Amino acid sequence: MDATHFVVPVRVAMAADEHILEIYSAEDALYFLQKWPGKQSGPIYQGAFDACFGALSGLNHPEEARHAFIRFAKVENIISPDMALAPDERRAAVRPQ
């Protein structure tokens, strides 16, 4: 596995009736962001771009890029509803009773 791969891919869909695209790495996410047809500015887009670029450069962990890309996908409403959680996200989602 490449050092920039995500633990769990990020699933996105440009429209409800389109096929799901799986983003497996910071490199895939950066490519997606560069081709993004929407406005390529703003703090969420720039944060995702910087985090993915940083992961490719070895400046930060790929999971940091994954989380930033997920934030971007949620804001743009392209995150797939069947998006799987990474192990650390599952632990955080469990609430003590």
Q: Give the model confidence (pLDDT) of 28-46 as tens digits.
A: 999 999 999 877 889 999 9
The answer to whether 72 and 64 have CB atoms below 8 angstroms apart is no
C-alpha closest to that of 6 among 39, 28, 38? 28
The answer to whether 48 and 72 have CB atoms below 8 angstroms apart is yes
Tens of each residue's pLDDT in the chain, 97 residues: 577 899 999 999 987 677 889 999 999 999 999 999 877 889 999 999 999 999 999 999 999 999 999 999 999 999 988 876 666 665 554 445 4
Domains of the chain, residue spans: 5-93
pLDDT value for 27: 97
51-to-25, 86, 93 alpha-carbon distances in Å = 12, 18, 23
- What is the distance of C-alpha 51 from the center of its chain? 10
Element (H, E) at 57: helix 43-57
Amino acid at 54: G
pLDDT value for 97: 46
The answer to whether 4 and 62 have CB atoms below 8 angstroms apart is yes
Q: What is the share, in percent, of the chain residues with pLDDT greater than 90? A: 61
